[in-house]
Structure formats: C-alpha cells, structure tokens
Amino acid sequence: MQRPTIRDIARAAGVSKGAVSYALNGRPGVSVETRARILSIAKEIGWVPSSAARALSSDRAEAVGLIAVRDPELVATEPYFMRMVAGVERALSARGIALLLTVVSDPVSELDLYRRWWGGRRVDGMLLFDMRVDDPRPAWLRESGAPAVIIGAQRAYPGIPCTRVKYQDSMSNAVRHLLDLGHRRLARISGPNTLEHVARRHRYFTEVTRELLGADQPQRETDYTAQAGVRATRALLAGPNPPTAIIYDNDVMAVASVATLTSEGVRVPAELAVLAWDDSPLCQLVAPAVTAFTHDIMGEAAQAAELLMTLIEAGEAEDRWLEPPRLTVRGSTAGVN
C-alpha cells in the first residue's frame, strides 16, 4: 500500500479515525488492547504521520529554520558554520524536528525568506546568528511574533532569548598573552564591522591595548576570506611600524596568512606571532599550528536549539550564558627566545 493514512489503520482495526489518532499519540481514550492492536497495525503497514496534515491541524510545523547570509564559497571553507549546523542538528534530531537550512547572499532575501517560512507555517521558529549592527531581524521578529533564538549574542535583545557570550575577557587574555611573549606592536585583522560581534571585538581590542600599551594599535577590516586576510596582513607588514603579532578574527584568515608567509620565508612566530579567534582542525593543518580561541561551537549551537524548542513549547525562555572562548596556545605564538 502506498503511503497509508490513519484511515487505512482505522479500517483495518475496525475503529474510527479518532480512536486511531488517540492511540497513536499516546493519549487516553482507548483501551489498552485496542491501542496495542492499532499500534501493531500501524507498524505493520508502515504508517508514517503526514507532517503536512499534522502541521495544518495542530499548527506545528515540527521544523525550525536557519539562514546564513554568506558567500557560499566562504561558508564552504570556514568550518564554523558547518559545526554550528551539526550542533543544531544534534539537538533537533533527538526530538524529531527537521531543520530548514539556506545560504543566501544578501540580507534582503534573508528577511524575505524568514517571512515566507514563518508566514507559510513552514517552521515553528528560527535560529539567528551573525547579528548585525542595526539588524532588522529583531524588529521583524517582535512584530510577527515568530519565536526565535539568537546564537552567541553579544548583548540582550528584548523579547528574543539568546545564548550569550562575552568576549571582553578573552580579548584581554589574548593581548596579555602576546604582551607576555614580549610583543609591543600588535594588530588585529577583523571580519566586517557591520557584524555585531566584530564591532564588539573591535571595541575591546581598542580598550585593552590602550590600557596596556597606552597607544592605539591598527585594525584592518576584511570580508573574512582567506585572500582578504592575506592582503591585509601584507599591508600591515609593509607599513611603518609593522606589527610583530596579529590577532585574526577567524581561523581561515590566520591559517592562510601563516601558510603564505612561511612559504615566503617569514618566520612564524619569531618574526610574526599569529592568533586566531575561532579554533578548528584547520588551525592544526599548517605548520606552525595556529594558536586559537577554542569553544565548543557544536555544544553551544545545540544549547541554542534547545532554548528555541523550550521557547516554542513554553512560550518563554531565559537567556543562557556560554563559557567565554579559551586560548589554546600552539606554535604560532610559541615563546620567542
């Protein structure tokens, strides 16, 4: 039989559709024997609930959405995104919730997609990440009433639960680590400052270096790609007062720079120390391996997904604080003797 329905089960068991529904959903209203009979018939004929019908009658899509606004090529290279997805998956699949995932190139189609997904009842809620400065999404979410959770938020968003991280101490640790190694001219190569977390790190870097070094250290903005990272590195090294240590905003730029520079004869870390914000296996792919901020991306994403499910079910959820990233020291910032 092709795609059996509860109607088929009802007929086979000699009961009504309603009774079948009660039995299959573990609700009271049917006797133990009838329930057992219905369940065994359902299993036998390979019945699977129609998600469309369920969604329609119970107004639950049993799915959540995740949209990435990034260049597909970057998404492919940067391990961060896929690990996040894997973490989300882990939490969702445990409860049989599906994930709608899309990579779009611009924020306009992003919001449009959220609108279609939510309006079309395709999802019960959304996971957001990479919050931007003046992000239009929180306002839309509040207006539409769509449940959403922000992954790794830098600040509170009223009405939108978040998993929150604070980068202040991490940045301070990174700078101190480099100062301890004797570096006095630092620099930072960042992602787009339109991203909230990038903007925050910019501020923290400024504050910490001012406090500890008494002078502003250069920061260069990029689009997070390997090429841009290498270009920015070259520019910094070619300028006056070249830095002896650079903090990169992601693993891709740091690794690419190490690979390029070492092949050109620049000695890392002797001539240039390198530190990356996101840790991943990439960091250990080059020699010397790159010192990086490690955090459990999968675990954090899974937490956010759980928060979202709580929000959807209970109607409310509390912000959850995450451990700040910890510095994993490797060869790229080894002691210079």
Q: Does 31 bind DNA (CB under 7 A)?
A: yes
Q: Write the DSSP string, 210-232.
A: HHHHSS---EEE--S-HHHHHHH
Q: How far is the CB of 207 from a copy of itself (least distance, A)?
A: 32
The site map against a copy of itself for 19-48 (x = CB under 8 A) is ---------------------------xxx
Instruction: Choose which of 17, 70, 142, 185 interacts with DNA (CB under 7 A).
Output: 17
* CA distance to 26, 217, 264, per residue, from 245 (Å): 62, 11, 17
* Partner in contact with 262, chosen from a copy of itself, DNA, none, beta carbon below 5 to 8 Å by kind: a copy of itself
Q: Does 58 bind DNA (CB under 7 A)?
A: yes
H or E element, residue 20? helix 17-24
Given the rule CB under 8 A, which of 18-26, 120-128, 173-181, 185-193 is the region that contacts a copy of itself?
Answer: 120-128
- Beta-strand runs (E) in the chain: 63-69, 98-104, 125-128, 148-153, 162-164, 186-190, 219-221, 245-248, 273-276, 291-294, 320-321, 326-328
Instruction: Choose which of 83, 197, 200, 330 interacts with a copy of itself (CB under 8 A).
Output: 83
- Kind of pairing between the strands at 291-294 and 273-276: parallel
Instruction: Choose which of 36, 52, 108, 156 interacts with a copy of itself (CB under 8 A).
Output: 52
- Which DSSP symbol is given to 266? -
Near DNA in 120-159, by CB under 7 A: 121
CA quadruple 131, 136, 137, 138: dihedral, nearest 10: 90
The site map against a copy of itself for 130-149 (x = CB under 8 A) is ---------------x----
Amino acid occupying residue 152: G
Rounded Cα distance, 164 and 200, in Å: 13
Q: Does 325 bind a copy of itself (CB under 8 A)?
A: no
Q: Does 285 bind a copy of itself (CB under 8 A)?
A: yes
Identify whether 269 is preceded by a cis peptide bond (ω within 30 of 0): yes
Q: Does 315 bind a copy of itself (CB under 8 A)?
A: no
Evaluate the CA torsion angle 326, 330, 333, 337 in order and state its sign.
positive
Q: Which is nearer to DNA, 121 or 231 (CB)?
A: 121
Q: Which is nearer to a copy of itself, 118 or 204 (CB)?
A: 118
Contact 117, 65 (CB under 8 A): yes
* Partner in contact with 24, chosen from DNA, a copy of itself, none, beta carbon below 5 to 8 Å by kind: DNA
Given the rule CB under 8 A, which of 30-38, 110-118, 149-157, 187-195 is the region that contacts a copy of itself?
Answer: 110-118
Q: Does 57 bind DNA (CB under 7 A)?
A: yes
Given the rule CB under 7 A, which of 21-29, 70-78, 280-288, 310-318 is the region that contacts DNA?
Answer: 21-29
